[in-house]
Amino acid sequence: MAAETGTPTTLTLKSNDDELFSVAESAAILSVTIRNMVEDGCAGGVIPLDNVDGKTLASVITYMNGISAIPADEEKKKSYRDKFLSDKDFETLADMVLAANYLNMSCLMDAVSAKIAQVMEKKSVGWVRRKFGIENDYTPEEEAAVKEEHKWTFEGVETDDDN
C-alpha cells in the first residue's frame, strides 16, 4: 500500500453503468472486496464494480467518506449510520444491501439489514406482504398448517384488518 508516502492515495471506482468515482483509499478499504484488490496490487487503474450501479455507488461512497471521518467512537458511528439511512426508501435500501454484500462491508450490511427489519417489527403477515409486495403462494390448507405451527407468533402484532 502507498500509505507510507504521506499523500493520501485516491482510487477510481467504476460502476456497472460506467460512471467513474474518485475516493480516498483510506475510506474505500472499508470494503473488504476493495481492500483485497488494493493489497493484491490490482488497484492501480480503474476498479470495476460490476454489481453496483452509479446511483448506489455514489451513496455507498458518501457513506464510506462519512463513516471513515469519524474517529473510533462506536456511538458516533452508529448515529451517523442511523442518520445516513433515515431518508432512504426501500428500493434504495435493497440496492444498498446488495452492494454492501458484494463489496463485503459488514458494518453497512448490518445497518441496512436492521433498517429493513425494523419495517417488519411487530407487523402482521398481511401488512408485511402488502408493504413489500410479496405474493402469497401458499394454498389455504398449507397456510393454515404453517399458521398452526407458529400460533404463538401472532400474539402481540399490531392490529391489522387483513391478516
- Tell me 5's DSSP state: G
Beta carbon nearer to another protein, 40 or 117? 117
Q: Which grid cell is 58?
A: 455514489
96 and 60 Cβ atoms separated by less than 8 Å: yes
117 binds another protein (CB under 8 A): yes
Which of 61/94 has CB closer to another protein? Answer: 94
According to the binding rule CB under 8 A, does residue 156 interact with another protein? yes
Which one among 3, 62, 138, 160 touches another protein, defined by CB under 8 A?
Answer: 138
Task: Select 50 or 150, whichever has its Cβ closest to another protein.
Answer: 150
- Work out how close the CB of 70 gets to another protein at its nearest, in angstroms, rounded to a whole number: 15
Please report where in the chains the cell 400474539 appears, as a residue.
Answer: 155
Coarse DSSP helix, strand, coil percentages of the chain, rounded to the nearest 5 percent:
60, 10, 35
Name which position in 122, 140, 141, 159 contacts another protein (CB under 8 A). 122
In the sheet where 10-14 sits, what is the strand order? 20-24, 10-14, 46-48
- By CB under 8 A, residue 120 contacts another protein: yes
Q: Which amino acid is at 136?
A: N
Cα 20 to Cα 4, 30, 48, 83: the distances in Å are: 26, 19, 9, 26
Q: Under the criterion CB under 8 A, does residue 98 sit at the interface with another protein?
A: yes
Cell 403477515 maps to which residue?
Answer: 125
147 binds another protein (CB under 8 A): yes
C-alpha 62/C-alpha 60 separation (Å) is: 5
133 binding another protein? (CB under 8 A): yes
* Residue 24 interacting with another protein (CB under 8 A): no
* 32 binds another protein per the rule CB under 8 A: no
Residue 105 to residue 102: CA distance in whole angstroms: 8
Provide the binding-site residues for another protein, judged by CB under 8 A: 90-91, 94, 97-98, 101, 109-110, 113-114, 116-118, 120-123, 125, 128-138, 142-143, 146-147, 149-157
